[in-house]
Amino acid sequence: MRPSTFRRLLNLWPPFLCNSIRVLKVSDDWSEARVVLRLRPWNRNYVRTQFGGNLFAMTDPFWMLLVMHQLGSDYLVWDKAGAIDFVAPGREDVYAHFKLEQAVVEELRAAAADGGKVLRWFETDVTTASGEVIARVRKQIYVRLKPRAR
């Protein structure tokens, strides 16, 4: 599937659509993605700031998806763990930017070459338009060469 088609489908996915999460960009080579979470009356928490579950949801699938598409179909790629650190209240729209460096992809390929499992942490800051950090999200990705490719 082309990244632009995938972006459109993600934007229609109910967990994103109903919570005002919008995928702004998925690069043609699957190395980069940008996401925005709009602050709306229906997705605010009790104190009128960004709901923490939506802050995590806006970042949830992207590291796995970027790694999966960069490595190709010979690899199993899964989310293994996640953590979020709330830094400041989100009183406006917030953004997340994911950039998967080619060196990291090659590092994962080399580490998984023997067929063993590889676990790697990726980090993303959720920021306002002006760059203020609202949350720091960590995702651990599991990578393993499929048996048929060993």
Domain of 24, CATH number, reads 3.10.129.10
Band the pLDDT of 45: cuts 50, 70, 90: very high
Model pTM? 0.93
Q: For the chain, how many structural domains are there in total?
A: 1
Q: What is the mean pLDDT of the chain?
A: 96
In whole angstroms, what separates CA 41 from the centre of its chain? 24
d(CA 99, CA 111): 20
Q: What does the pLDDT read at residue 1?
A: 86
In terms of residues, how long is the chain?
150
Domain assignment of residue 18, given as a range: 3-149
For the stretch 120-138, pLDDT in tens is 999 999 999 999 999 999 9
Instruction: State yes or no: pLDDT of 149 exceeds 90.
Output: no
